[in-house]
Chain A
Amino acid sequence: MSNPSSGPETQARALAPSAPAVVPAHCPHTLAFHATSYRRFLWKVVCDATDGSAWFYAWMILLTAFALTGLHAWAVQVRDGLVVTGLSDHVSWGLYIANFTFMVGLAAGGVMMVIPAYLYHDHEMHDLTIVGELLAVAAIVMSICFVVVDMGRPERFWHMFPVVGRFNFPVSMLTWDVLVLNGYLGLNLHICGYLLYMRFRGERPNPRWYVPFVYLSIFWAISIHTVTAFLYSGLGGRPLWNTALLAPRFLVTAFIAGPAFIIVLLFALRRFGGMRLTERPVQVLVNIVRVTLLINLLMVASELFTDLYSGGAHTASVHYLFFGLHGANALVPWIWSAVAMGLASAVMFLRPGVVGHPVWLTLACVLAFVGIWIEKGMGLIVPAFIPSTLHEIVEYFPSLVEWQVMAGIWAWGLLILTVMLKIALPILRQPHPVVP
């Protein structure tokens, strides 16, 4: 809906008659100016987000249908209790918390675009950092949703807020997680919103207003996943989690899943969003995945070695996961398919010319992504509860409700991501403001 006849420069001047004829970089505007200009920006955002081809509408309707099905399943769960899930006192966390963990990783992985762009001053990556940050925003929203649907009393959410509730800080790792997740969400919203608004106005963004936040977000990304890992590794009663390697492993898998998702997303944006895409950013992402994939394999092997070579009762969960225990083996197919996907994607990623083969690369990314999703879920959250702390073996099978809620949240996340990208792309397509 942008009007090509009046460039952003003219708009800016028309809106601020008192401003000098040529708007210099970092020109301070009055609040009144921003009030009008920001309203126009928001209006454009709304128009962009709701206009599109028939394909766009079909995609949005599909996602909405899934999201609403999930919402309904969750509403039933709230009414009837978590008894409608496959969870029990033995396996008290399942699909929801598994997805939560994975989503935090995806959010942290989104920032992987930022590191090469800013730490190594790779200018070609700058535009794409916004894609990574928008992914982070969607993933954080999804991870918060996954926590909410896991709550037995979601209406008491306010008990978690500082001041009005009772915030068990700094003792409970979960309160830390609430803080860092919301902080990360705020950071990314600020960076994306600011850059896009400046682009819309045709002004050069003032580095003071975003560069410090960008650097902060890099550390913050690491912190969200580290804190989430501490959530589990701090529990002495669950040997599977009680390992110092958990946080590094979380980070490494995040830095596989994030870039893998972004590669596929970039291809999709080139195909459906008319985005210009050179080989260079994809190459950078592929290089990241190559390294992290290998580190991950090394870490998994080290952990398995400690667990299986030394033996003992505390390795029962690992045995259950990989080989089954006393005839119970629900997770065995899951974990071996994750292993197979991890290995297959590693082989594909390590081939020299992989960047030149978008189809193979996409397949490799999907395999890596799904493999890690299984490993973080069925391979990490669930087996820690089997056998239970009194060594009872009670297996867990997610119920239909859980799958529906999960699909709903995924659809909701993709919906948010689509809308945000829809808004961002036209703004990004505008020519860069002149560099002085």
Chain B
Amino acid sequence: MNRRTALKAIGATLGAAAFAQAIAPLTQWTEDLTIDDYLQKHYKELSPFDLGVVMARMEKETKEATGVDVHIGDYRPQPGVKFGYALNLSVCVGCRRCAKACHVENNHDRPSGNSYIRVLEMQKGSLDLAKGRVNYDHAVPDAEKFYMPVQCQQCDKPPCVSVCPVEATWKEADGIVVVDYNWCIGCRYCEAACPYHARRFNWKKPEVPAAEINPDQGYLSNRLRPQGVMEKCTFCLHRSRQGKLPACLEACPTGARVFGNLLDPESEIRWVLKNKRVFVLKEDVGTQPSFFYFFDV
């Protein structure tokens, strides 16, 4: 072995050692990963049995990590149901209890105060979003203003769904757009595509104190989310698909919110659509929302 080869060998050894040092944080990170988790198939490809196994595993993991007994259910769309939401801007007072209820119901990260709902304080006489603001902090309502909560519009032509490269997000038969948290690769393309700022990314692992965890969870909705994946409003499908109302509606003190089955002619939402002056946000972008706004006039 000549001097040059020896030097090369030393260089290579040093390089390998430095490389191992550099990637050391990855080894700490993989301690949390299990092979089952890594190889888990897409929600739609899991048989009912497999899905049962997966959900049991997740319940067990939550128990180990937090000590809380949670129940994760797989709630499927009901036949003949297409959900719609309507919101009465004449009575919304901007108290943001809906946003708070969403935060609690959906096991959102506590430090960031995350919620799927943003309430815009708008200038009367204009629907120009540029004239609204979300970070108002004074007694509500302000007589000069009106209030417009915005959450996922469960679009019929959802751009967030078409852009996803791995089909980790899709529109279900009852109109709810969902995310498979275990399939999303965290590219955030859908977040860039959504015209309503309705998607939320888990920039870090959400923190929820054990005592505050909502134990009634849905696989596709409010179960504890992993780090690095996308999430969004699901009209509380773990509630609505069992005939209950979304948490934001129950929390609203003024009755501004109307939720129901668009396919049922007797439903309250159909009555609103028929009798009120209804509009959708950003109609021009062609997303065809299932979320409607109206005024009492």
Contact = CB atoms under 8 A, between A and B. Distances in A.
A132 to B, nearest CB: 29
A430 interface: no
A399 B192 CA distance: 20
Nearest to B160: A237
A174 B128 contact: no
A266 interface: no
Given A92-B188, A235-B192, A155 B33 contact: yes
A220 to B, nearest CB: 20
Nearest to B169: A168
Specify which of A72, A92, A173 lies most central, judged by the most chain B CB atoms within 10 Å of its CB. Answer: A92
Given A82-B228, A235-B159, A152 B130 contact: no
Interface in A89-109: 89-90, 92-93
Interface in B107-147: 118, 120, 128-130, 132-134
Interface string B179-217: 000011111110111111101111111000000000000
* Interface size classification for chain A: 35 or more
A175 B189 CA distance: 12
B130 A165 contact: no
Given A82-B203, A313-B130, A159 B183 contact: yes
Interface stretch (B14-22, B77-85, B270-278): B14-22
B192 A76 contact: no
Given A79-B26, A153-B229, 17 more contacts: A75-B25, A80-B204, A89-B200, A92-B192, A151-B186, A152-B186, A153-B226, A153-B228, A160-B185, A168-B162, A172-B189, A236-B286, A237-B195, A313-B128, A390-B150, A391-B130, A391-B132
A236 B164 contact: no
Interface residues of B, number: 64
A50 B8 contact: yes
Nearest to B161: A171
Contacts of B42: 159, 166
Contacts, number: 176
A392 B134 contact: yes
B23 A72 contact: yes
A174 B201 CA distance: 19
A151 B230 CA distance: 11
Interface string A31-70: 0000000000000000000110000010000001000110
Contacts of A71: 19, 22-23
B63 to A, nearest CB: 23
A391 B129 contact: yes
A181 interface: no
B164 A237 contact: no
A273 B159 CA distance: 50
A135 to B, nearest CB: 25
Specify which of A87, A147, A174, A388 lies most central, judged by the most chain B CB atoms within 10 Å of its CB. Answer: A174
Interface of B: 4, 8, 11, 15, 18-19, 21-26, 28-29, 33, 38, 42, 118, 120, 128-130, 132-134, 150, 159, 162-168, 183-189, 191-197, 199-205, 226-230, 282, 285-287
A93 B187 CA distance: 9
B281 to A, nearest CB: 9
Contact of A152 (B128, B159, B185, B195): B185
B27 to A, nearest CB: 9
Contacts of A385: 192
A72 B22 contact: yes
Contacts of B33: 155
B23 A79 contact: no
Given A72-B25, A79-B29, A87 B18 contact: no
A153 B25 contact: no
Given A174-B165, A391-B129, A88 B185 contact: no
Nearest to B131: A391
A135 B15 CA distance: 25
A88 B203 CA distance: 8
Contacts of A24: none
A150 interface: yes
Contact of A159 (B22, B185, B203): B185
A151 B185 contact: yes
Contacts of A384: 192
